[in-house]
Amino acid sequence: MGKSKVLVVGGTGYIGRRIVKASLEQGHETYVIQRPELGLQIEKLQRLLSFKKQGAHIVEASFSDHKSLVDAIKKVDVVISAISGVHIRSHSIGLQIKLVDAIKEAGNVKRFLPSEFGLDPARMGHALEPGRVTFDDKMAVRKAIEEANIPFTYISANLFAGYFAGSLSQMGSFVPPRDKVHLFGDGSLKAIFLDEYDVATYTIKTIDDPRTLNKTVYLRPQDNILSQGELIGIWEKLIGKELEKTYIPPEGFLTTLKGLDFKLQVAIGHFYHIFYEGCLTNFEIGEGGEEASKLYPEVNYTRMDEYLKAYV
């Protein structure tokens, strides 16, 4: 059998554009949706034109036009949604219910990958308000997928390096500090950091793999399972300097929630679960899951010492 044809929804976004690139590089006929709602967002339009030059097909469709979605889906075998689920940008996870309806009507899709790419929402039933809305919305999409009997793969990509590694997981910045750094608790709980291009590479590898059908694929490359303290240590070695450290206890961290903007409250709740509970690594992958770096050992993923060199 040939490689699946792929439709990427949200292909101009942060992770979507990397998924388009990986799909093309791995030899898939790749379609990217252009939504009329794009309006005057010139950078997104130019990105679409760039994809076209690289060999992607651009297809017009809109969440407000059910038939256009169905028509676009009928062109492909696999649909990957990468629409934003980050509140500091735009949170559009719920729109995917319309995508599920269109996939169900089209009837030809052999795999759907909804927009997840972070913490596994199935493990976050205990999440703090208001941050739990992210996980609740993703679980509502999962419920719709499974009730429609649509074949799926869920990708749990843990932490994007651009958001969490480059900043040494400091809030309010995407660049690493050079003098002072804050650690959550004692900085010893393990998290998992991934270069976004590696997330895309692993994602595309799953789509024709029978081992990942109707499963959650966790991206846990061994060398990138690091505590915040270890991540800071890598940076200190790179710049040849020890940073002044401040340790934030959990009770002190949660008090910062009060009175903050909703988007920041969501982010703080997620930071709490990651760095005070260790929610990314405090469980074993069970029967319904697979681990990407074991399935695809040929992927030479970016280690965080190499990643952080760009910031020196």
Of 3-12, 16-25, 76-85, 146-155, minimum mean pLDDT range? 76-85
Alpha carbon separation from 106 to 28, 90, 209 (Å, rounded): 20, 28, 22
Say how far apart CA 129 and CA 190 lie, in whole Å.
Answer: 23
Q: Rounded mean pLDDT of the chain?
A: 94
Q: What is the mean pLDDT of residues 198-205?
A: 98
Q: Which residues are catalytic?
A: 138
Predicted pLDDT at 207: 98
Is residue 241 over pLDDT 70?
yes
Q: What is the mean pLDDT of residues 151-167?
A: 97
What's the pTM value of the predicted model, to 2 decimals? 0.95
**Contact, 78 vs 207, CB < 8 A?**
yes
How big, in percent rounded to 5, are the helix, strand and coil portions of the chain?
40, 20, 40
Looking at the DSSP assignment, which residues form a beta bridge with residue 65? Answer: 62
Predicted pLDDT at 38: 77
Is residue 264 over pLDDT 80?
yes
pLDDT in tens, 47-101: 999 999 999 999 999 999 999 999 999 999 999 999 986 655 566 899 999 999 9
Q: What is the mean pLDDT of residues 9-19?
A: 96
Q: What is the mean pLDDT of residues 100-107?
A: 98
**Contact, 78 vs 155, CB < 8 A?**
no
pLDDT in tens, 117-150: 999 999 999 999 888 999 999 999 999 999 999 9
User: For 228, how many CA atoms within 13 A lie in the half-sphere containing its CB?
Assistant: 28
Q: Where are the domains of the chain?
A: 6-156+195-219+284-297
**Domain covering 6-156+195-219+284-297: architecture:** 3-Layer(aba) Sandwich (3.40)
Taking alpha carbons only, the member of 75, 72, 78, 65 closest to residue 20 is 78
